[in-house]
Chain A
Amino acid sequence: GAGVSQTPSNKVTEKGKYVELRCDPISGHTALYWYRQSLGQGPEFLIYFQGTGAADDSGLPNDRFFAVRPEGSVSTLKIQRTERGDSAVYLCASSSRGGAGYEQYFGPGTRLTVT
């Protein structure tokens, strides 16, 4: 079946602009995660949704970052007033349910470049 999809695959934006990154999880997966990966680093947790609610947003770096999942399926990560330090690959993952030991399947990521 279809895996996790993310759009756009690449996004170039100017410093100070607003961007939205979209994630389509695997159908039926209730848990959805956003991570950010900088060059030479492992992915870093941002936020976790169980259904429609954000169960853990402790990884969001500051209040410029916000994510929603209004219908418990597609999620959008929103970044306001982008800064050059926001440049990274933003990865989305989903699993059949949240919980230790449940495999997380990653999407191909959105490469964000802030100029």
Chain B
Amino acid sequence: RKEVEQDPGPFNVPEGATVAFNCTYSNSASQSFFWYRQDCRKEPKLLMSVYSSGNEDGRFTAQLNRASQYISLLIRDSKLSDSATYLCVVNIDNFGNEKLTFGTGTRLTIIP
């Protein structure tokens, strides 16, 4: 089983729609959770951290469910500029291990 699993998509969504991605992680010792965004042939960039209480940043809402070991990202009122690959990322901070573990990414295309 992969440490971080995501539906690779692609998700093709009309502009203005709401879209949600889920991600599951296997290691219950995982400490920190993130969503990164990666544009085609570019480096990943942090979109938002995910906190246990859930957090919102404009049109983006992230939630964490530790009991079920899944993370979600909700994008409201989607824009053409939201087209990208969204990477679910987990930091398994066992014994000072600082590495990020990435999912394969979910590809999103917003259609005009």
Contacts and interface: CB of A to CB of B under 8 A. Distances in A.
B45 A100 contact: no
B52 to A, nearest CB: 12
B30 to A, nearest CB: 9
Interface string A24-54: 0000000101010000111111001010000
A107 B98 contact: no
A107 B103 contact: no
B42 interface: yes
A44 B91 contact: no
Q: How many residues of A sit at the interface, in one of the four size bands? A: 20 to 34
A108 B44 contact: no
A104 interface: yes
Contacts of A55: 96, 98
B43 A107 contact: yes
Interface in A61-115: 91, 98-101, 103-109
B104 A45 contact: no
Minimum-distance CB pairs A-B, first 4: A42-B102, A45-B99, A106-B43, A100-B93
Interface of B: 4, 8, 31-32, 42-46, 49, 87, 89, 91, 93, 96-105
